[in-house]
Chain A
Amino acid sequence: MPTLILDDVKPGMTLAQPVYTHQDRLLLEAGRRISEKHLRIFKSWGVAAVAVKGSAAGDGSTSMGADVPATGILDDAFRARFAGVLDDPVMVAIMEAAARHLAGRGRKRKVRHGRS
């Protein structure tokens, strides 16, 4: 169940977890197939990443799931920063959110460098 930043989510993928706005309003239930329209709605609500079913390995996408650290963001050094605090589910949520945003930030920087 990889978590993908929104740029890597393709129409036709299936949601593994429901998507909420930051005010906890449900945008799309788990199990629904994602359409172009859904992607536009996610973007307009500022959704950074979503969890999709299946494996995203090999398609060039940026996975951020704790089980699929494709970008290296969830590498040992990153996890070590959270040593001793992950028995708190809120801290787990904070770590996962930070991983998603750091992956997105890294990608944006790479794109900027590539164009300069």
Chain B
Amino acid sequence: MGEADLRRIIARVEDLPTLPRTVLRITELVNDPRASAKDLSIIITDDQVLTARLLKLVNSSFYGFPQRVSTVTGAIVLLGFDAIRNLLLTTSVLDLFPARIAHVRRDQEQLWDHSLGCAIGAKAIGNFLRHDKLEELFVAGLLHDIGKIVEMMFLPDEFARITERVRAEGVLISSAEQELQGCTHADIGRLLAERWNLPAKLVGVIARHHTPAAAGVFAIESSIVHLADIFTRALDLGSGGDDKVPPLDKAAWELLKLKPGAIDAIMASMLTEFDDIRSFLS
């Protein structure tokens, strides 16, 4: 991306929404080794919406706990601090971009379905590889295309030209973005993630989900999200702005060491979870 393009984008997204104070406080608390489940519980129960969401999630079949969880402290103990932070981060981000124009709302809903599919796929692949941070992978999948939401809402004219090019020529959206805008949604997503002070790993995955081999220390996570993106498009879950399945990065595939036989199991798991989890995030 050229320097002039970067400056122009930064100028246009200056009014980006900020994360709610509660989520920022929770993020700080999770990073504090002295914090207890009770400290976290006090902050969450202060916010009725977050409390309701948390209990709804922990009692959903997504987690599959055999007994009903009725207290926030119980949910924290069961899920762990990182999972709570990721959940609240996810649902709060969804709230930040209310689309008021009908066609933008439709595009956004399709994109969120795509993002949700990718999140579930990243978690399923991580589970298969015995990755120890499945919640982190879920959030990375959910936010990997956050740059497209910014384009839809803050750069509508450019985005309209990009989607027209995608429709007319059948190219990948990232190719059209690069050609018409000088940067891609991955570049814009990185800007937003940095502005929100999201963890470095999330910033890395958002920036490199199409070029995972270049993600350095986050190459594994970026490769997982890259593959989850391909699976989601192959299974037609939502829309990432074009109807094409992008090429697989060979280095990413070799890095993950997945056997072809794993593809079926991961896809089966993705489809089973998609409808269920969609119902409580929507």
Chain A interface residues toward B at CB < 8 A: 20-24, 46-49, 77, 80-85, 88, 90-91, 93-95, 97-98, 100-102, 105
| A17–B192 CA distance with the chains assembled, in angstroms | 49
| CB proximity to A under 8 Å, residues B73-132 | 128
Closest to B243 in A: A81
Asked if A23 and B245 sit within 8 Å, CB to CB, the answer is no
Interface SS of B by simple majority: helix
Number of B positions contacting A (CB below 8 A):
27
| A36–B231 CA distance with the chains assembled, in angstroms | 32
Q: Report A36 CB to chain B, min CB distance, Å.
A: 22
Q: Beyond A83-B170, A94-B230, A98-B234, is A88–B248 a contact (Cβ under 8 Å)?
A: yes
| A105–B237 CA distance with the chains assembled, in angstroms | 12
Asked if A91 and B247 sit within 8 Å, CB to CB, the answer is yes
Whether, in the assembled complex, B6 has its beta carbon less than 8 Å from a beta carbon of chain A, the answer is no
Asked if A102 and B236 sit within 8 Å, CB to CB, the answer is yes
Q: Which of B245, B246, B250, B267 contacts A97 (CB 8 A)?
A: B267
Q: Report B172 CB to chain A, min CB distance, Å.
A: 9
Asked if B261 and A23 sit within 8 Å, CB to CB, the answer is yes
Asked if A102 and B235 sit within 8 Å, CB to CB, the answer is yes
Whether, in the assembled complex, B15 has its beta carbon less than 8 Å from a beta carbon of chain A, the answer is no
Note all chain B residues with C-beta closer than 8 A to A84.
Answer: 247
Asked if A85 and B248 sit within 8 Å, CB to CB, the answer is yes
Q: Report A23 CB to chain B, min CB distance, Å.
A: 7
5 contacts between A and B (CB under 8 A): A22-B265, A83-B170, A88-B250, A98-B231, A101-B235
